Amino acid sequence: MTLQNGIQPRKAHLIAEIKKFFSHFLLRKKMLRFKNRKNFEHNNLITPASLIKTQLFNNAMHFNIFFILLNRNRTKEEH
């Protein structure tokens, strides 16, 4: 059984989950970025370099979680 665009329901469900997951993180990231900017304006403790580092770390974490989810789903299908 496939949906109108040719994706199996389980895959469609997984894609929806991943989209929801990422949108949640992007929203949090935006909120954190705003908070960081306010802190930066107030006390200059956060340097652009450290902001860039946290940005890179966040991106890496997102991709790690993304692949963990994908692999978990793949191993379920194999057994």
pLDDT, one tens digit per residue, over 13-46 is 777 777 777 776 676 776 666 666 665 555 555 5
Q: How far is CA 50 from CA 32, 34, 56, 57, in A?
A: 14, 15, 10, 10
Q: Which residue has the higher pLDDT, 78 or 24?
A: 24
CA–CA separation, 37 and 51 (whole Å): 9
pLDDT band of residue 70 (cuts 50, 70, 90) is confident
pLDDT band of residue 48 (cuts 50, 70, 90) is low
Determine the pLDDT at residue 44. 52
Determine the pLDDT at residue 13. 75
The answer to whether residue 79 scores a pLDDT higher than 60 is no
Residue 36 phi/psi, 5-degree rounding, is: -60, -40
CA–CA separation, 8 and 2 (whole Å): 5
